């Protein structure tokens, strides 16, 4: 079984956009819809694509962004760049009745100063607010020719999970283990997307650290099943060890990514999930 995923490159772009509307999805998830002439040509074809979203430095209130030059991206000589990676939830090309639109979904982590810069911005975002994004630089497409997919996600990975549900071929059987805070989170998924997969909701409010046990409960994973997982890095490290070491699944069959890590600001999700076993 081949799990090859085609990569499509996109022209690099830094886009200055504005908020068109803000749509609460659950008590802790909100959708910000962006518009602007610079959205023309935007492309995002893969389930795990990401854009960099730039925010003002919390210490100074100053927004510093990179500059796109003929030689590529150039960092400014002064200022602190504050950015976070987000999955583009949906892009809708302009029609006669509406402009290009880009949806980005944010998890609201807290209030009264406990939010990071992205969550704090999203919590107060309003129509007309500016926002700068860059990318995606490319798209890694969903694998073709697989029979089944197993998807693991927490709240931060629900946009990527949704894209997997939309982009996998209709004949692929999908199971999802979703490690979320409470019973309010399932409302994030539309009825259509819920019907696309056999979903098990694991609620942390009742019992934390259920993901690995639920995964073990599935038993052996066939060699025609692709596994994707994303979310809190510490939670996914034992998951990776189970899949790669205990079950012996090859690297190309498993794609796990730490989108965030408790106690770590601005985690690099490109870094190895498990530094002790970076393969």
Indicate the pLDDT class of residue 262, thresholds 50, 70 and 90. Answer: confident
pLDDT, mean of residues 31-50: 97
Strand runs labelled E in the chain: 7-9, 14-26, 29-35, 51-55, 67-69, 72-74, 82-86, 88-92, 101-107, 130-134, 138-140, 148-153, 173-180, 198-203, 225-232, 254-260
Eight-class DSSP state of 245: I
What CA–CA distance (Å, rounded) separates 55 from 62? 8
Q: Is the pTM of this model over 0.85?
A: yes
How confident is the model over 155-172, as pLDDT tens digits? 999 999 999 999 999 999
For 222, what's the count of Cα atoms within 13 Å in the CB-facing half-sphere? 11
- What's residue 263's pLDDT? 74
- What's residue 25's pLDDT? 97
Give the SS3 label for residue 93: coil
What percent of the chain is predicted at pLDDT more than 70?
95
- What's residue 9's pLDDT? 96
Question: Does residue 111 register a pLDDT over 70?
Answer: no
Indicate the pLDDT class of residue 279, thresholds 50, 70 and 90. Answer: low
What CA–CA distance (Å, rounded) separates 83 from 109? 17
Higher pLDDT, 25 or 263: 25
């Amino acid at each position: 079984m081949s799990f090859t995923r085609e990569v499509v490159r996109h022209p690099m772009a830094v886009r200055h956009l504005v908020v068109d509307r803000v749509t609460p999805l659950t008590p802790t998830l909100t959708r910000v819809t962006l518009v602007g002439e610079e959205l023309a040509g935007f492309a995002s074809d893969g389930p795990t694509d990401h854009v960099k979203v730039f925010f003002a430095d919390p210490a100074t209130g100053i927004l510093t962004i990179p500059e796109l030059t003929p030689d590529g991206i150039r960092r400014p000589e002064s200022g602190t760049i504050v950015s976070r990676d987000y999955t583009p939830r949906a892009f809708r090309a302009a029609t006669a009745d509406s402009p290009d639109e880009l949806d980005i979904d944010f998890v609201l982590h807290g209030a009264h100063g406990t939010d990071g810069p992205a969550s704090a911005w999203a919590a107060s975002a309003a129509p007309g607010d500016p926002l700068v994004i860059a990318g995606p630089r490319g798209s890694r497409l969903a694998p073709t020719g697989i029979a089944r997919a197993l998807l693991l996600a927490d709240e931060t990975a629900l946009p990527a999970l949704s894209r997997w549900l939309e982009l996998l071929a209709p004949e692929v059987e999908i199971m999802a283990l979703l490690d979320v805070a409470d019973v309010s989170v399932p409302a994030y998924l539309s009825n259509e997307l819920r019907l696309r997969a056999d979903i098990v909701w694991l609620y942390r409010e009742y019992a934390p650290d259920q993901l690995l046990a639920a995964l073990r409960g599935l038993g052996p994973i066939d060699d025609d099943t692709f596994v994707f997982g994303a979310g809190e890095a510490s939670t996914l490290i034992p998951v990776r060890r189970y899949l790669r070491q205990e079950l012996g699944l090859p690297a190309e069959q498993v794609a796990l990514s730490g989108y965030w890590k408790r106690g770590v600001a601005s985690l690099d999700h490109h870094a190895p999930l498990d530094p002790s076993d970076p393969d």
